[in-house]
Amino acid sequence: MDIDLARAWVQAITVAVGRHKDHLTQLDSAIGDADHGTNLDRGFTAAAVAVPDLAPDTVGAVLSKAGATLISTIGGASGPLYGGAFRALGKALDTPAADPLAFAGALAAALESIQKLGTAAPGDKTMIDAFAPAVAAFEEQVRQGTDFAAAAAAAADAAEEGMRATTPLQARKGRASYLGARSVGHQDPGATSTALIFRALADTAAEA
């Protein structure tokens, strides 16, 4: 992960969220506030504008700027959760380039940030159900000696599997938890947007 790849990743997320914002909002209308797609689209669009204006000397500067922009432009819980995750990534990557193992550690720090703020665990039907397996898959691939792109692809696959696995779960955290058993049968919007973010990373790394 270098500065150019970090910039390209933010841009790719923006494109993916824009393409899927109506689907994200549709998912959120079933078990949330029906604004997840709109909020994320606004936040990442702002981040995509803010990041090119930087003259960064580290990967972390790019990702921290994206995180700060998300926090300031996204309403509800998504801004602090996603913004905090990107800021944690940035803090851990204070270098012009990061090898796969360093990026794995940064992803773990991002996951810790989300869990600390949202107090959710795997199985609670939240973004954690996609984020945690993605981090585990990335680290496993790195420790097996695969390159960044292959590890990112494995992480995206794991995130999408975790996303789909939220459908039969009953929500125990967030707005959806208020619905109790009625949350069963709906795919979690936060897990869905998380999967988009990891797929954007995989696609960007593959093109680099």
Q: What is the pLDDT of residues 148-183, one digit of tens each?
A: 999 999 999 999 999 999 999 999 988 788 788 888
**C-alpha span between 34 and 50 (Å, rounded):** 26
Q: Classify residue 135 as exposed, middle or buried by CB count within 10 Å of its CB (0-12, 13-18, 19+).
A: buried
Q: List the domains of the chain with CATH numbers.
A: 3-207 (1.25.40.340)
Checking if the pLDDT of 76 tops 80, the result is: no
Q: Is the pTM of this model over 0.85?
A: yes
Q: What is the pLDDT of residues 78-117, one digit of tens each?
A: 899 999 999 999 999 999 999 999 999 999 999 999 999 9
Query: Mind giving me the DSSP string for 89-102?
Result: HHHH--SSB--HHH
**C-alpha span between 112 and 188 (Å, rounded):** 20
**Residues linked to residue 97 through DSSP beta bridges, in sequence order:** 2
Which of 191, 199, 205 is closest to 82 using CA atoms?
Answer: 191
8: helix, strand or coil? helix
Query: For the chain, where are the alpha helices, taking DSSP H only?
Result: 3-31, 36-50, 59-73, 78-92, 100-118, 128-143, 148-165, 189-207
Checking if the pLDDT of 52 tops 90, the result is: no
Confidence of residue 188 (pLDDT cuts 50, 70, 90): very high
**C-alpha span between 136 and 83 (Å, rounded):** 21
**C-alpha span between 192 and 194 (Å, rounded):** 5
Q: Which two three-digit tokens encode residue 187? A: 């795919």
54: helix, strand or coil? coil
**C-alpha span between 134 and 36 (Å, rounded):** 21
